[in-house]
Amino acid sequence: MLITSIGQGLLWAPLVIGVFITFRILDIPDLTTEGSFPLGAAVTVSAMLSGQSAVTASLLGFLAGCVAGWVTGILDTKLHMPSLLAGILTMTGLYSVNMHIMGKSNVPLLSQKVLTNYLPATWSVDLQTIVVGALVTGVVVAVLIWLFKTRLGLSLMATGNNAAMSSANGIYTDRMVIIGYMVSNGCIALSGALIAQSNGYADIGMGIGTIVIGLASVLVGEIFLRGRQIWLRLSAMVLGAIIYRYLLTVAMGLGFPVDDLKILSAGILVIVICLPIIRNKYRTRQQLKRYLKQLGADEHEAEPISSLKRQASPEGLLSRDTK
């Protein structure tokens, strides 16, 4: 069960990394995800059916995602739409685009060679999935680590952190936001391409709930692996994707029907958002108790407790730190 989760998690990891780029680096909740994920799948499967190799088709899927990200980026920056609305518009538009690419709502692969077929046939499916997932995710992570060590990557981070300061320092923030959207949605579409090959089909509905999956995995990853270095943060995303898959597999093992997985995903997201808030609240209270105990040794005053308690505001994963 765990082995399957690792394989599947690695296939989903590019999606989580994509969501991480918009959500954490650029500080934008990008709903394009729900459209670019099936777009990647649709483009890849269609390309493979028309005779392209799995590698070329996957790359085409990635590029299609970049285009989708570019559209959202233009809507957001040049047309000054709220980023949520920009994402919703692209996502909605992509439904029609995906239908046109696929021709019908579900397109199965026939006898086409998918990425895992390049590996020895004697290997088990799980091992093949893990190797392909690890290779693709490894490349994505390596490229992004390099990117964030360049001046361009630094400009991207600065734009997400403090746009006013960035433009005052000569960074064209609009361009940075568009580039961020493109890289992010490229990764997301690539994940769609991998999942479609793993499932053996592309489906118009496969994007539903992917933003929740992505966000939940980002948060889960950050709970288990915290750090500032970019390689650590990206590794946390891969870990998050795997743990999230495992949680879903466990839930299915407990007898939840497949239709209930979406509400389960939503439930997990609620839990991982609330968990750190509760944990912080608890920690603050513990610290306060310890502090007051020290104080209590000298003075017996219970008065300040309630006022201090109210002041200690918990800090959640979703809330940004003070800039």
Binding interface with another protein (CB under 8 A): 149-152, 154-155, 157-158, 161-162, 164-173, 175-176, 228, 321-323
Q: Residue 105: which of 169, 148, 45, 29 has the closest Cα?
A: 45
What secondary structure does DSSP assign to 193-229, as a single string?
Answer: HHHHHHHTEEEGGGGTTHHHHHHHHHHHHHHH---SS
Q: Nearest distance from residue 188's CB to another protein, in Å? A: 23
Q: The tokens of 216 are what?
A: 């939940």
Q: Nearest distance from residue 76's CB to another protein, in Å? A: 16
Query: Of 218 and 242, which CB lies nearer to another protein in the complex structure?
Result: 218
Query: Of 104 and 151, which CB lies nearer to another protein in the complex structure?
Result: 151
* Euclidean distance between the first and the last CA atom of the chain, given in angstroms as a whole number: 42
Please give the DSSP secondary-structure letter assigned to residue 319: S
In order of 67, 126, 180, 191, 214, the CA distances from 131 in angstroms are 28, 9, 28, 15, 22
The length of the chain is 323
Please give the DSSP secondary-structure letter assigned to residue 69: H
Query: Of 164 and 254, which CB lies nearer to another protein in the complex structure?
Result: 164
Q: Nearest distance from residue 180's CB to another protein, in Å? A: 13
Query: Of 201 and 231, which CB lies nearer to another protein in the complex structure?
Result: 231
Q: Nearest distance from residue 219's CB to another protein, in Å? A: 18
Query: Of 158 and 264, which CB lies nearer to another protein in the complex structure?
Result: 158
Residues 167 and 14: beta-carbon distance below 8 Å = no
**Cα(323)–Cα(312) distance, rounded to whole angstroms?**
19
Query: Of 166 and 210, which CB lies nearer to another protein in the complex structure?
Result: 166
Q: Nearest distance from residue 169's CB to another protein, in Å? A: 5
**Which positions ≥6 away from 196 have C-beta within 8 Å?**
40, 41, 42, 44, 45, 109, 202, 206
Q: The tokens of 26 are what?
A: 């650029």
Query: Of 155 and 198, which CB lies nearer to another protein in the complex structure?
Result: 155
Residues 29 and 84: beta-carbon distance below 8 Å = yes
Q: Nearest distance from residue 254's CB to another protein, in Å? A: 39
106 strand-pairing partners: 203
Q: Nearest distance from residue 74's CB to another protein, in Å? A: 16
